[in-house]
Amino acid sequence: MTTSLWGMDINVWANAAIRLQIIVLVMTVVVMGLIWAERRILGRFQQRIGPQKTGPFGLLQSVADAVKLVGKEDLRPKNADPWTFELAPFLVFIPIFMGFVVVPFIAGWNISVLELGLLYFVAISSVNIVGWVMAGWGSDNRYAMIGGLRAAAQSISYELPLVLSLVSVAMFAGTMNLDEMVRQQAAVPYIVWQPMAFAIFFIAALAELNRAPFDIPVGESEVVGGPFVEYSGIRWSMFMLAEYAGLFIMAIIGASVFLGGYIWPFGEELGRGWQLMLISAKAGLIIFVVFWIRASLPRLRIDQLMGYSWKVLLPLVLLQVLVNGLILVNGWSEVILGVTGLAGVVALVTITGRAANRPRSILARPAAVKVEAA
C-alpha cells in the first residue's frame, strides 16, 4: 500500500501522518492568524484599532498570547472530576483536527480523498459536543454545567439542519466525495442551484461553532464563558484553538461545497498558489461575515434558539430535500432548483422576520396616570 507524496512513493499511513502533521502545524498558525484577524476586524467595527503593539500591526499578538497561555499555571478546581476535566479539551480539540482529513484545500492536496468525505466530516465534527459536555460537567461549576448543557442541546439541534443542507447538495451532486463535488462546480457553483441550503448551512454552522448570535453556551454576560469558565492556561487555549480551527474548517467546507472551492470561476488549470489564494479568499469572506455578525447582533435566548432550529430551519431544509428529490427523479431543469431555492431564501427571511416580530405577550396598556401636555 503505497501512495505518492511529492513524487515519492511512501506508505499510505506514513503519508497520512506526514500530511496530518503539516495540517496541524499550519492550522495552529492559521488559527493564530484568525484570532489576530478577528481582533483587528472587531476593532475596526467598533471604531478602534485592535492589537497593534506586538510586532507589525500587532501580528505577533497571538504568538505572545500563546506563549503567555502556555506559561500559565494549569489550574484544576479542587472538586472537579479529574478525568473528565482533563480529557475534555482533547475531546474538543482532536475531532476538529480530524475533520481536516477530507478538506479539499487545493487540487490534489488533501490528506485523504474519501468517497464518503462529507459523511465523515459531519460525523466527526459533531463528536466535540462530548468534550463540551464533559468540560461543563467536570468543572464542578454551575455556570459551566449550564453552559455545557446548552452546548449539547444547541449542537444536537443545529446538527440536523446542517447535515440536511449538505445532504441536499450531495443529492444534487450525486456524490459525497468532496473533491468530486468541487470539480463539478467548475462552471457554476452550487450556491446558484441551492441558495437556501447555503443560507441554512451558514446559520447552522454559526450555531455549531457557538458563534454569535448563537453563542449562548459561552455567553459572557450570562454564563461567563460557559464550559471553560474553570479552565486556564494551555487547556483553555486548546478550546480556543478548537473554536477557531472549527471556524476555519467550516468556512473551507462552505467555500468548497457551495462557492466552488478552488475551481470556480477560473477552472482547473489555475496554478496551485492561485488555487490556494482563491479558496482562502472565499473562506476569508465567510469568516469576515462571521466576525461582522459577531460585532453586530445580540445573542438569542435558549428557547428562541431551539425554536428557530426545529420550527424554521428543519422544516425548510426538509422541504428542500423533498424538492430536490422530486426534481432529480423527474429530471426537471436545474433552473427550477435555483428558483425554488431563492423562494426558499425569501421564505426563510420572511419567517425569521415574522418570528422575531411576534406581538408581545403583554398587551399595551394606556398610561396609568393621565399624561398632561408638557
Partner 1 sequence: MKGIARSLMTTLSTFSRKPVTRDYPNVHKPLPERDRAFPLLLWDQDIDEPFCTGCHACERACPVECMTVLMKDNPNHKTVGGTSTRRKIIDKFWIDYARCMRCNICVEVCNFDAIAMNNTWTGHEMSVHDRKDLVIDLQGLLAQSRAGAIKEWVPVLGQTNE
Partner 2 sequence: MVTERAREFDTQDLLINVGPQHPSTHGVFRMVLEVDGELVKDVIPYIGYLHRGAEKLCETMDYRQGIGFMDRTEYLAAFNAELSYVMAVEELAGLEVPERAQWIRMILCELNRLSSHFMFLGAFGVDTGVMGTPFIYGWREREMLIDLFEEISGDRMMYAYFRPGGLAWDVTRNFKERVREVIKSSAQGIKDFDGLFTENEIFVARTKGIGYISAEDAIDYGMSGPSIRASGVPLDVRRDEPYLKYSEVDFQVVTGQHGDVFDRYACRLQEMRESIKIIEQCLDKMADTGPIMPEKMPRMLRTPPGEVYMRTEAPRGEYGIYLVSNGGNRPYRLKVRSACLSNLQALKQMSVGLYVADAILVLGSIDIVLSEVDR
Q: Which residues bind partner 1 (CB under 8 A)?
A: 43-49, 292-293, 295-297, 349, 352-353, 356
CA dihedral over 114, 118, 124, 125, signed as positive or negative? positive
Nearer to partner 2 (CB atom), residue 44 or residue 53: 44
> Which grid coordinates belong to 2?
503505497
Region of 55-63, 172-180, 264-272, 359-367 interacting with partner 2 (CB under 8 A)? 359-367
Question: How many helices (H) and strands (E) in the chain?
Answer: 15, 2
Residues in the chain: 374
Q: In whole angstroms, what is the distance from residue 315 CA to residue 36 CA?
A: 38
- Interacting partner of 4 out of partner 2, partner 1, none (Cβ under 5 to 8 A depending on kind): none
Compute the least distance from the CB of residue 53 to partner 1, in Å.
Answer: 9
11 φ, ψ (degrees, to nearest 5): -60, 140
Region of 44-52, 186-194, 231-239, 256-264 interacting with partner 2 (CB under 8 A)? 44-52
- Interacting partner of 269 out of partner 1, partner 2, none (Cβ under 5 to 8 A depending on kind): none
CA distances from 278 to 105, 134, 147, 271, 325 (A): 10, 38, 37, 10, 32
Query: What is the maximal distance between C-alpha atoms in the chain?
Result: 89
Contact pattern for partner 2 over residues 256 through 295, marking x by CB under 8 A: --------------------------------------xx
Nearer to partner 1 (CB atom), residue 292 or residue 332: 292
Region of 167-175, 210-218, 251-259, 278-286 interacting with partner 2 (CB under 8 A)? 210-218
Residue 330 in the binding site for partner 2 (CB under 8 A): no
DSSP 190-230: HHHH-HHHHHHHHHHHHHHTT-TTS-GGG-HHHHTTGGGTT
Q: Provide the residue type at 207 as one letter.
A: A
Region of 83-91, 232-240, 316-324, 347-355 interacting with partner 2 (CB under 8 A)? 347-355
Residue 1 in the binding site for partner 2 (CB under 8 A): no
- Interacting partner of 349 out of partner 1, partner 2, none (Cβ under 5 to 8 A depending on kind): partner 1
Alpha carbons within 13 angstroms on the beta-carbon side of residue 89 total 20
* Phi-psi map region of 67: left, alpha, beta (phi>0 left; psi -120 to 50 alpha): alpha
Residue 368 in the binding site for partner 2 (CB under 8 A): yes
Compute the least distance from the CB of residue 37 to partner 2, in Å.
Answer: 14
Q: Which residues are at the interface with partner 2 (CB under 8 A)? A: 42, 45-48, 142-143, 146, 212-213, 215-216, 219-224, 294-304, 352-353, 355-358, 360-362, 364-369, 371-372, 374
